[in-house]
Amino acid sequence: CFMNSVVQCLNVSLPFSDELMGLLVQGLDGVPRSLCTVFRGIRGGDGGPASKGAFSPKPLREDLVSKFPWYSGKEQHDAHELLRTLLGHISDETTKAERKQAKEAGGTPNGSSPSSCGECVSRSFKGHICAATLCWGCSKVSLRLDPFFDISLDLPTLAGQAVGALGVTSTMREASSESKGAEGSKRKPAGQSKPPPKPPSGEDADESGGERGGSSLSPKAE
């Protein structure tokens, strides 16, 4: 499920997924090509949901395991870690056209300039964090830009509510409790075919010989 969540998010991350699929004409291998195949399958091509109702990302998993063996087996992994692994690996890949051009030039692809895959990832995910350092002695401020492809953010509070574990607020807990209560009220207790009888009311008690309104006084004998 960790791989499914990452792939589904990348598929709807436009224009990244469209640009990566556009590089197929230049020749993609390995993980980038398999990822594009999954994108096409999810969107209805290559036997995707439009034809069979499901699409297996098995080729992507096989290519991923061949590069990163720790993803073998059926253990659960962190989705954020997989996202960073995929983006980093795609950024380092080159197309067949780029490798052919470098070979004709008598060398290898220049690592100093980003490849087409690297530019595709950078345009959609790359950002910079500005770190400012103030010198108390001379009051000089130095700035440093640090690139990032992912950033962790705290979930905001709602109307001053404190956010608990996993970002769950009191409003979320109340909504969950109400939902469970409504679901439970629809279920009949086991072994009960009809509701229990109601206790007799005052009028019913009078008709059955009971006394209403406390004890009564008997007529005074003369």
Q: List the chain domain ranges.
A: 2-126
Q: How far apart are CA 42 and CA 53, in angstroms?
A: 9
Distances (CA, A) of 18 to 12, 15, 24, 27: 9, 5, 10, 15
Q: For residue 149, what are its two tokens?
A: 């492809």
Q: How far apart are CA 55 and CA 46, in angstroms?
A: 9
pTM: 0.56
Q: How far apart are CA 20 and CA 115, in angstroms?
A: 12
Per-residue pLDDT of the chain (222 residues; tens, 9 = 90+): 788 888 888 888 888 989 899 888 888 888 888 888 888 888 886 545 555 567 788 888 888 888 888 888 777 788 888 888 888 888 888 888 888 887 777 766 555 567 888 888 888 888 888 888 999 999 899 999 988 888 777 777 665 555 554 455 565 566 666 665 655 555 555 555 555 555 555 554 444 444 444 444 444 444
Residue 205 has what pLDDT?
Answer: 46
Measure CA 137 to chain center. Answer: 47
Q: What is the bridge-based pairing of β-strands 141-148 and 127-134?
A: antiparallel
Q: For residue 162, what are its two tokens?
A: 């404190």
Q: For residue 109, what are its two tokens?
A: 């692809």
